[in-house]
Every structure is written in structure tokens, then in C-alpha cells.
Amino acid sequence: MSSPITSFTDEALIAFDTLADRASNLIQPTLRLGVTGLSRAGKTVFITALVHNLLHGGRLPMFEAAHSGRLARSFLEPQPDDAVPRFQYEDHAARMISDRIWPDSTRAISELRLVVEYESASGWNRFFSGGRLCLDIVDYPGEWLLDLPLLGQDFAAFSLNAASLARSPVRADLAAPWLEKAGTIDPHKPADEADARELARLFTDYLRACKQDERALSTLPPGRFLMPGDLDGSPALTFAPLPNLPDTPAPKGSLMAMMERRYESYKSVVVKPFFREHVARLDRQIVLIDAMQAMNAGHEAVIDLERALSDVLSCFRPGSGSLLTSLVSRRIDKVLIAATKADHLHHESHDRLEAIARRIVERASSHIGSSGADIEVLAMAAVRATREATVRQDGEELPVIVGTPLDGERIGGELFDGKRKTAIFPGDLPKNPDAFFKAVDAASKPPLPDINIVRFRPPLIEETENGIKLSLPHIRLDRALDYLLGDRLA
Ligand code: GDP
């Protein structure tokens, strides 16, 4: 447990950070937007598409400020935090638009400042803000948020939780090598670096296996084991829970004492600074989830997504959590949960995906507090890689989506080369999500929605007669922007 002294110090620091931010906010209106989600949820693609659409006057009819013609211009400026890597927007955009290859995914934190100049709808605001908003976009792995509960757990509690999850039926086979090895080691034996490294490696392998496509389980803490950032190989990451801890305290110089110390270092040098320096300073947050992949993988993956989302949301809706929990989240007033990659579905199913995502969010938030940030849910595709069409078959019109499957992608035994287009029937989501969740709750195998998830290449961007590339097509990105930024551009 963190001592009251430590918590007080954190509080003082957070108050200071916030104050400094507020002071500069008076001179220069700024909105810090956090973009997170578990790996492969679509963070890099989302930020690239958002910035590209704002820089190039994309089609954003549901984003009021854009639709009413009040956006004057947007441009990139150096970011305010020198110690945080810059989000490499230009590289990502070039890969996606010129090469039609998806960009490299988020591996650590990065930041980008976009300045939006606009004409305020109200004379009062025009006078005060001068119609200029600095949007600081902060991209970070959702895995890192899952570390928050660790701050309230000592090493024994962490080990107990990790072991009981690892022994659950859906994970037991994946965790077997780690559990077996840990079972042969006496926690009271003398500390040995080789043991620590072996246990950390086996534990990390197990966490990685949970993420494989066919299992699609969400990550468990420690979040840096799969997303180490620049800490790869450091002692603060070379530990693992010990499943068979004796009740007696760790003898000096024992393996258990070493693991305990490193676990505490992980919390103090990795987890706390991350929350204090980054999460605590955010104003708004978007959380991307890949609900379709979870549904495709089955009942356990959906339950698991709910569990991870519940941990993520508790960072923004603290309820009656610990002191630190309430501190990190007091500033964020709006959270958008966006189910991504809606372009894998025909538009008739977009509302259904949204309804399912809403149910997942409701279920996840039933475990946490109801005060704190306002939460909204949306189905979206930051980049639309497909177009819709209809195919006639046996006198019936079938809705299909058309796109270019990635090089090496297989559909029904047919291998694609990354050049040829194809039309697929994307499948249907259940009209009423209730049936699906009833089956999930009954732990009976719910009827899996019959969706075909094909990985398509990014779309070919058309050019105008003057050779100007049009902006990236999307689905409902404009609604996301309206919710996240609209009131700050009023
Ligand atoms: P990150 O780990 O959250 O940064 O995830 P990325 O943004 O790198 O996205 C992971 C992968 O998901 C990409 O390589 C794409 O294949 C796919 N993806 C992400 N967003 C979209 C989208 O809007 N439409 C489609 N069709 N695919 C997407």
C-alpha cells in the first residue's frame, strides 16, 4: 500500500502541474486529448486520420464547427513537452496515403500539437480566446492504464490475483509453463538474477499468448511487460508474481525480497510518474476498443474486454477509490469509448455495433463509480478502407463491402496479393444485443455473430483535377470530433 506521506506528495505535485497548466491555458486555450486503447485497437490510425482531416479540410458534416464553415485553418506546432517523443504524423500519413500500408502501431507514449483557428459562434468567446485552440494529442498504450489497481496492492495481493487469474480455465493452459516453473522455486531461496529473469520471461510469454488473435484476451498488469517503452530489460521490469507465497515475511536477501522490491520500484518509478505526469493532465479522453474482434473470438474474450474496460474506466470515474485514483481523474470531464473498424461492416450494422459497444460499456461501468467524467459511446472507422455495394445472387440483392485485401490475406482458401480488389459479404451483427449478452452471462457459448473480418489495405485516396489529394475517408469520425472538441470551438 502507498503510505499517506507518499500520497500527500503526489497530491502536491499534481496540484502544481495542474496549476501550471491552468495558468498557460489562460494565455493560450489548450485541450489535452488522451488517445488510448489496448494494442492494435487503432490509436495510430485514429490520430493520423483526425489530424489529416483537420489539416486538409476533410468531409466532416457532423462536426458542427467544420460544417458551419467556422474552421479557419489548422496547422502543426512544436509540442509543449520536450521530454515526450513526438507522434510521427508525417511518416504515418505518408505510409497510409502514398504507400497504402498501415502505419506502425503505438509502442509507447507520444504527443502532437495541432493548432485550430476558428471563428467563434459567440462574440463573447471571440473576444476571449481569439479563436485559437491548441489541441495537444497524447497517444499512449491502454495497457499502461491497467496498472492503476497495482497502486493499491502489495506484492502478496498482486501475486494472489495474478495466480488466480492464471489458473482460470480460459488462461490455465497458456499460463502452465510459468506456473510450473514458479511451482519449483522456493520464494525464500537466495535471490538469483537468473531466476528473476526466467520467471519474468515466462510470465511475459504467458501475457503475450493471451493476446493472440484466436484467444483475443485483454492484457493483464503489469502493463509494461508487453509495452515496455524505453524500460525494456530494466530491473524494474525484471520481476514476476510468485504464486506460492508463504505467509512469513521475506527473509533478507531472498528471491521473494528481491521480487517484492522490484515490484515496489515498478510502482514508484514507472506507474506513479506516468499517472502524475500524463494522465492527470488530460482534459478529455478517447478509448478505442476492438469489439468485433472480441465477439469473433467468443464469450471469454467479451467478458475479458469488459474487465479491462472496467479497469480503464475506473481511472476516469473513480467512485470511492483511493486518494490517488481520485486525483488522477479529477480533470477529465468527457470520455468517448469508440468501437473501431466499423468499415468491416455494412452501414446497416453500424448502429448495431454501437448498441453492442454501449452494452459492454454499461456492463463495465456497473462495477465502478458513476461520478466523474461523462461517458459516450460510438461505432467508428477512423479510416474507411472499404466501399459498399450490392451483389445479386439467386435473385436476391446482398449488401457487400469492397476493398483490397492485404498482401497474403486468405479468404475461403483464396490468396490475395495486395493489388486485387474483392467484394465480401461482411456478415451481420445481432439486431438485439440482449440475446448475445444473456448467453454470455449464462456462460453458454453465445451464438457468435457471423462476421467476416478481412484485413484490407488503406484506401486509394482520390485526387482532384488539380492533383490535390482528398482527405482520408472515415465513418463517424466527425461525430467523435464534435463530442470531444465541439464545445471548445463554440
Ligand atoms: P494501435 O496499436 O492502437 O496504435 O493500433 P493501430 O492504429 O496501429 O491499428 C492496428 C491495425 O488495425 C492497423 O494496422 C489496421 O490494420 C487496423 N485498423 C485500425 N484502424 C482501422 C480503421 O479505421 N479501419 C480499418 N479497416 N482498419 C483499421
- Grid cell for residue 268: 514508484
Ligand 1 pocket mutation pick from 35, 40, 346, 383 by most atoms within 8 angstroms of CB: 40
User: Which of helix, strand or coil describes residue 271?
Assistant: helix
Give yes or no for residue 328 having a pLDDT over 50. Answer: yes
Q: Is the pLDDT of residue 323 over 60?
A: no
Q: Examine the pLDDT at 7 and tell me if it is beyond 60.
A: no
pLDDT, tens only, 410-422: 988 899 999 999 9
Contact at 8 Å (CB) between 61 and 67?
A: yes
pTM above 0.85, yes or no: yes
| Binding-site residues, ligand 1, Cβ < 6 A | 37, 39-45, 102, 105-106, 340-341, 343, 381-383, 385, 455-456
How much is the pLDDT for 3? 41
Residue 129 pLDDT exceeds 60: no
Report CA(97)–ligand 1 centroid distance (Å): 14
Q: 375 C-alpha to center of ligand 1: Å?
A: 23
Q: How many angstroms is it from 381 CA to the middle of ligand 1?
A: 9
CA 355 remoteness from chain centre = 19
Mean predicted confidence (pLDDT) in 78-103: 95
pLDDT digits (tens, 9 = 90+) for 457-474: 999 987 777 776 778 999
Q: What is the pLDDT of residue 1?
A: 38
Most confident of 53-62, 305-314, 327-336, 437-446: 53-62
Q: Which of 280, 228, 362 is nearest to 11 (CA)?
A: 280
Cα gap 66→88, rounded to integer Å? 25
Q: Is 80 exceeded by the pLDDT of residue 119? A: yes
| Atom of ligand 1 minimally distant from the CA of 382 | 23
Give 417-426 contacts, CB < 8 A, sequence gap 24+. Answer: 418/457, 423/389, 423/391, 424/400, 424/452, 424/454, 425/391, 425/398, 425/399, 425/400, 425/452, 426/344, 426/345, 426/346, 426/349, 426/399, 426/400, 426/401, 426/451, 426/452
Predicted confidence band of residue 2 (pLDDT cuts 50, 70, 90): very low
Residue 124 has pLDDT above 90, yes or no: no
For residue range 346-392, what is the model confidence (pLDDT) as tens digits?
998 899 999 999 999 988 888 776 666 789 999 999 999 999 998 88
pLDDT for the residue 293: 84
